[in-house]
Structure 1
Amino acid sequence: MRAVVWNGPGTPMTVEEVPVPRPLAGEALVRVAATGVCHTDLHVIKGEVAFPAPGVLGHEISGHVETLGDGVTGLAVGDRVVGAFIMPCGTCRQCAAGRDDMCEPFFEQNRLRGNLFDGTSRLARADGSRLSMYSMGGFAEYAVVPVTGLTRLPEGLPLEESAVLGCAAFTAYGAVSRAGADLSGRSVAVVAVGGVGSSVLQFARHLGADPLIAVDVDDAKLEAARALGATVTVNSRSTDAREAVLEATGGAGVEVALEVLGRPETVELGLSLLREGGQLVLVGIAAGAATADLPITQVVRRGLTVTGSYGARTRQDLPEVVRLAAEGAFDVRRAVTRRFPLEEAPAAYDLLDAGAIQGRSIVTMG
């Protein structure tokens, strides 16, 4: 099969012919239709997030089940599926408590070592040398995925575009859930409206947030945000964002701000937009050990809350994300703004790094 191999920071990614992997017990081999292009992969590519090279990136996929490993129930060969980037083991202390998003073996084995739960990778080069897997290693024509990370895709949803349900929508749903299930009539600001941020807008709009404020530095992204439901847009490069948010909220500030980029300046901006008792949900992954300044007395006196949100609870939330998409609460067609063939995956990340992609782009295998 063809796979895009990342050889480490500062080196070009290459398209190679590698052996098709085989699923073991509790796993499925998925014939990949499409994989989303995400900023988290970009952090790995640039060496801003530690991960062992060489490897195959790509962590949100859609496709068809090709073969099943031993002991798999609930899925059949030929099923249309989407895969979430958090692939929970299902049995650790956190998974048993319903916190798939905190699965200990996933973070220890996959995120730190590029393995699946048995401590080995399913991927190798043609010469037999090992390739790390970032989640399922979706930038390839086939991917092995633990079935705990998969859910069926209804026929009414388009196969390729639905790849974004496994990270962009999944992460957005988790972030909105952290802010509370009832956003109806609550003031919400989304800081940075790229692939995940624009997905947050869709869910917040569906839940009735008002006003729903999009903050970014790119007018084209802000125009797209308005089409996705933002009632107010603010260019923080040309406008004092705090003043604009105060004006939109009658001088109070927002009840909930969601920061979706992971930069110190946008985290600090998000905190500054809150009203008394407000909540900041941090969603964006930062480069390296980046930190943001926290005005301690202001947080204490004003009763502010800062919450981290890494994805969602896969077994519970991924089926719900798919259900909401099928009902029209999340429009996968509108979320996907650009497509690239597999050979152009490296160019897609160059454009993402340059801020030249609105919404979410996907890499297709056809």
Structure 2
Amino acid sequence: MKAAVFNGTGPTLRIEEIPRPVPRRGEVLLEVAACGVCHTDLHVLKSEVAFPTPAVLGHEVSGVVTELGEGVDSLAIGDRVVCSFIMPCGDCRHCVGGLEDLCEKFFAHNRLNGTLYDSETRLHRSDGSPLAMYSMGGLAEYCVVPASDAFRVPDAIGLGEVSILGCSSFTALGAINNAELGLADRIAVVAAGGVGSSIVQFAAAAGVSQIIAIDISDDKLAAVAALGATHTVNSRETDVVAAVRELTDGHGVTVAFEALGSPATFATSLDILDDGGRAVVVGIAPAGSAGSVDLARLVRRKLEIRGSYGAKARRDMPTLLRMVEGGTVAPEEVITRRYSLDEVDDAYQALARGEIIGRAIVEMKRAP
């Protein structure tokens, strides 16, 4: 099969022919329909996040079940499914306690070592040398995923478009849930990329009355305005704090979502908060990044800082699918570019240049 392999040098992906993987107990093999183009993969490509190489990246995946591992009775061959990037083991202390977004096995085995939960990868080159898996390694024609992380897609929903549910939308829904958002809240979304776009879309669908989108790109701001942002602020041209205060009767927002992952946007998210406000930090920053906090203001104004990483797969992925089926959320409205697998390096180079508005996907059967 074809797979996009990162060898650890430069932000470059190369297409290779490698053996098709085989699922083990509790796993399924998917013929991949589409895989989202995500900034988190880009962090690995730019060596901003440590990950073993050579590796196959890609963690926003939809596809069709083509083979069942031993003991799998919850799915059938031919099922159309979508997966989340956090693949819950289901039996570590955090999963048992309802905190699947902190799954110990996922972080210890996959994110540190590029393996599944028996400490082995399912991907190898023809000579038998291992290829690390970033989540399921979805930038390939086939991938293996734990059956607990494969969710049936209703027949009426397009399979390619829902691939972005697995990280972009999944992360946005987790952020909304972690913010404990109320309809009366005034919110700001700092950075209007893929995750920021989904946060805007979900907040608008929930009926939040004021949604302020902040970015340096007029094109991205126009796109999120179409998704439901009530106001937009170009932070390259405008004093963001003054603009947000003016839009909120001099007070600031109740909740600020930081959706990029940089010290500058983290600082902005705190600066625009009203007293008692909450900053929900969603963006993945390069390893070692640090943000400063005015501790006196934090204490005296009762501010909160909440980290949000993904969501809870077995609860939230079915919720996302119901939202799409009901028309509450439209992933196809966020997707602005489509690439073939042979064009995958072009996709990530465009992402690195900041050219992709909303979200892009790689479609495995798309003609170049």
The residue correspondences of 1:173-192 to structure 2 (distance < 5 A) are: 173-180=173-180, 182-192=181-191
Is it true that 1:266 corresponds to 2:265 in the alignment?
Answer: yes
* SS of structure 2 residue aligned to 1:36: strand
Q: Which residue of 1 aligns with 2:210?
A: 211
* CA-CA distance at 1:322 after TM superposition: 1.1
* CA-CA distance at 1:12 after TM superposition: 3.0
Q: Which residue of 1 aligns with 2:4?
A: 4
What code does the residue aligned with 1:310 have?
A: Y
* CA-CA distance at 1:183 after TM superposition: 2.4
Is it true that 1:25 corresponds to 2:25 in the alignment?
Answer: yes
Q: Which runs of 5+ in 1 are unaligned?
A: none
Q: Which residue of 2 aligns with 1:158?
A: 158
Moved more, 231-240 or 200-209: 200-209
Q: Which residue of 2 aligns with 1:133?
A: 133
Is it true that 1:338 corresponds to 2:346 in the alignment?
Answer: no
For residues 121-142 of structure 1, give each alpha carbon's deviation from its aligned partner in whole angstroms, at most 9, with x where no partner exists: 0000111110000000000000
* CA-CA distance at 1:9 after TM superposition: 3.6
* CA-CA distance at 1:326 after TM superposition: 1.3
The residue correspondences of 1:265-284 to structure 2 (distance < 5 A) are: 265-284=264-283
**Structure 1 length-normalised TM:** 0.99
The residue correspondences of 1:245-324 to structure 2 (distance < 5 A) are: 245-324=244-323
Q: Which residue of 2 aligns with 1:68?
A: 68
For residues 194-243 of structure 1, give each alpha carbon's deviation from its aligned partner in whole angstroms, at most 9, with x where no partner exists: 01110011111111112100000000000001000000000001001111
Taking only the aligned residue pairs, the percentage that are identical comes to 52
Inter-partner Cα distance in structure 2 for 1:328 and 1:298: 42
* SS of structure 1 residue aligned to 2:49: coil
Inter-partner Cα distance in structure 2 for 1:237 and 1:251: 21
- Contact (CA 8 Å) 2:11, 2:42: kept in 1 or not? no
What code does the residue aligned with 2:226 have?
A: A
- Contact (CA 8 Å) 1:183, 1:208: kept in 2 or not? no
- Contact (CA 8 Å) 2:2, 2:17: kept in 1 or not? yes
The residue correspondences of 1:36-75 to structure 2 (distance < 5 A) are: 36-75=36-75
* CA-CA distance at 1:157 after TM superposition: 1.2
**Structure 2 length-normalised TM:** 0.98
Check 1:356–1:306 CA distance in 2 against 1; reply closer, same or farther (3 A cut). Answer: same
Inter-partner Cα distance in structure 1 for 2:327 and 2:219: 24
What code does the residue aligned with 1:196 have?
A: V
- Contact (CA 8 Å) 1:57, 1:134: kept in 2 or not? yes
What code does the residue aligned with 1:277 have?
A: G
Check 1:46–1:106 CA distance in 2 against 1; reply closer, same or farther (3 A cut). Answer: same
- Contact (CA 8 Å) 2:11, 2:46: kept in 1 or not? no
- Contact (CA 8 Å) 1:191, 1:270: kept in 2 or not? yes
* CA-CA distance at 1:185 after TM superposition: 2.4
What code does the residue aligned with 1:54 have?
A: P
* CA-CA distance at 1:329 after TM superposition: 1.9
* SS of structure 1 residue aligned to 2:354: coil
* SS of structure 2 residue aligned to 1:170: helix
For residues 334-358 of structure 1, give each alpha carbon's deviation from its aligned partner in whole angstroms, at most 9, with x where no partner exists: 0111000001111111111110000
Q: Which residue of 2 aligns with 1:109?
A: 109
- Contact (CA 8 Å) 1:211, 1:248: kept in 2 or not? no
For residues 264-310 of structure 1, give each alpha carbon's deviation from its aligned partner in whole angstroms, at most 9, with x where no partner exists: 00000011110000000000000121111111111111000000000
* SS of structure 1 residue aligned to 2:23: coil
Inter-partner Cα distance in structure 2 for 1:260 and 1:248: 20
- Contact (CA 8 Å) 1:183, 1:204: kept in 2 or not? no
Q: Which runs of 5+ in 2 are unaligned?
A: none
* CA-CA distance at 1:324 after TM superposition: 1.0
- Contact (CA 8 Å) 1:256, 1:280: kept in 2 or not? yes
* CA-CA distance at 1:328 after TM superposition: 1.6
* SS of structure 2 residue aligned to 1:155: coil
- Contact (CA 8 Å) 2:334, 2:359: kept in 1 or not? yes
* CA-CA distance at 1:11 after TM superposition: 6.1
Number of residue pairs aligned between Structure 1 and Structure 2? 365
Inter-partner Cα distance in structure 1 for 2:228 and 2:208: 10
- Contact (CA 8 Å) 1:338, 1:360: kept in 2 or not? yes
Q: Which residue of 2 aligns with 1:14?
A: 14
* SS of structure 2 residue aligned to 1:158: coil
Q: Which residue of 1 aligns with 2:231?
A: 232
Q: Which residue of 2 aligns with 1:325?
A: 324
For residues 66-104 of structure 1, give each alpha carbon's deviation from its aligned partner in whole angstroms, at most 9, with x where no partner exists: 111111122111011001000011000000001110000
* CA-CA distance at 1:50 after TM superposition: 0.2
Inter-partner Cα distance in structure 1 for 2:328 and 2:255: 20
- Contact (CA 8 Å) 2:12, 2:45: kept in 1 or not? no
* CA-CA distance at 1:105 after TM superposition: 0.7
Q: Which residue of 1 aligns with 2:96?
A: 96
**Over aligned residues, Cα RMSD in angstroms?**
0.8
* SS of structure 1 residue aligned to 2:106: helix
Inter-partner Cα distance in structure 1 for 2:327 and 2:213: 21
What code does the residue aligned with 1:187 have?
A: R
Q: Which residue of 2 aligns with 1:364?
A: 363
